[in-house]
Each structure stands twice: as structure tokens, then as C-alpha cells.
Amino acid sequence: MPSSRVRRGDHGAPLGQAAEDYLKAVYNLQANGQEATTSALAGVLEISDASVTSMSKRLAQLGLVVHTRYHGVELTPAGRKIALEIVRHHRLLELYLAEVLGYRWDEVHAEADRLEHVISEEFEERIDILLGRPTVDPHGDPIPTKDLELVEPSLIPLSRLDPGRPAVIQRVSDRDPALLRYLATLGMFPSVSVVVRERAPFGGPIHLRLGDREHAVGPELAAQVFVRLVDDEEP
């Protein structure tokens, strides 16, 4: 199977799955507004702090990350390019698994994690063409372009949506399959319109209108659903 076009460090050394997972984890933490500290990466990757430190040193030598004391690591342009390629593979695979192979949206994340490191660029391109050059995965996460460009949309958590302000669900967290299964029972999918009718005080439930349905959800759940505000001019 042809190898990936960018998965090498500045010195030409090939990367393995563990290094690719590390770079993707750094990217995802930073995309969520978090610092990629040793402890944060260890938690995401489910490895020891010592293993994270060792990988950080290796990838820094390859020119893929830089370490800032007390602030963890950041991706270099080369490291970001590799991370975005893995993210592109992952999100295209999620959509392919859901739309072509009939996987549920709570099943695709783990399966894509296993496949993202092994598909070739030709296979990636064929999936992209088959799916019609999609821009988002089943959970609303944006898919990097073929040129590895990605623009994060301006979204807010549903937990912060003002009562009466119309919005559209754009993205949901895909970290917890049980959460996705529950959201499915509520009809809380990307592209569904939503309005907060009332927010109870002291961390109480948030009462929503979802299309033609009404539900009450907790603020912890609402914080994992992200919405796009609807302008007054939009239909």
C-alpha cells in the first residue's frame, strides 16, 4: 500500500502509529482551546507521563513539535501538516463508515481510529470522490481539504445559547459513544434547529425546542453540543 505523503519529520525519519496519534492528540487539544501539557496528553492517549515525555523529545528532534516550559508542546508547521492529514483520514473514514457501510454514528470513531493510519492517499481520494467531496463528518467536525487546509467554524456551546435565540446544531462531541446514542434518541443531530426556551437557575435543566420537539437536558450534556447562531435574515 502506498505510504502517506507527509508522515516524516524534518530529517526524513518515518513515523509510526504512536507518533501520529501523539500529533493528532496535540492538534485536537489545541483546537479545543486546551494546552497540550504532558498530563493532558497522557490522559488522552492513555499512556504514562514518561512515555509522553519521551515522545515529545523524539518529535522535537524531528522538527514536528516545540516544547515550552510549563505550557507543554505546540505543533510546528510540519507537525501540523501531519496531524491534519491524520484528521482528514479519520473524518473521511467516519463518514464513509456511516454513509456507505451503515455504521451508527456512535460506532464510527473507534473504527476510524484503527484505520486512519493504514489507508493510502489513493484510497483517501477515492473515498473523497465517492462521498462528493464532503466538508464535515457525521458529528459535524470539519474535514481538512485535500491540501490540508481547515477552517474551524465560529460556534458556541448549547449551554451558552441565550433563551429565544435561534440556532442550528453544527457539531457534537464524539468522545463518548453513550452520549451519541442518547443524543440520537433526542434527535440532536447536526443541522437540526434549536432554541433555548428556558434555563433553570443553579445548574438546573435547559428546556429546548428541537425542530418540532421539546426536551430538557442538563448543562453538562448541553456543553458538548455546539451551535451556529442563525441571523435574523436567514429563513
CA–CA separation, 59 vs 225, rounded Å?
A: 33
H-helix or E-strand containing 149? none
149, 155, 146: which is closest to 32 by C-alpha? 155
Superfamily of domain covering 156-229: Ferrous iron transport protein A (FeoA) (2.30.30.90)
Quick one: average pLDDT of 21-45? 92
Q: Where in the chain is the domain with CATH 2.30.30.90?
A: 156-229
Distances (CA, A) of 92 to 22, 105, 138: 20, 13, 9
* pLDDT for 235 beyond 50: no
Q: Is the dihedral of CA 168, 104, 31, 35 positive or negative?
A: positive
Q: Which pLDDT belongs to residue 212? A: 84
The grid coordinates of residue 172 equal: 457534537
* pLDDT for 34 beyond 90: no
Q: Which pLDDT belongs to residue 1? A: 38
Residues 6+ apart with CB under 8 A from 103: 97, 111
Domain 1-152 top-level CATH class:
mainly alpha
pTM for this predicted structure:
0.86
CA–CA separation, 130 vs 178, rounded Å?
A: 29
Q: Where in the chain is the domain with CATH 1.10.10.10?
A: 1-152
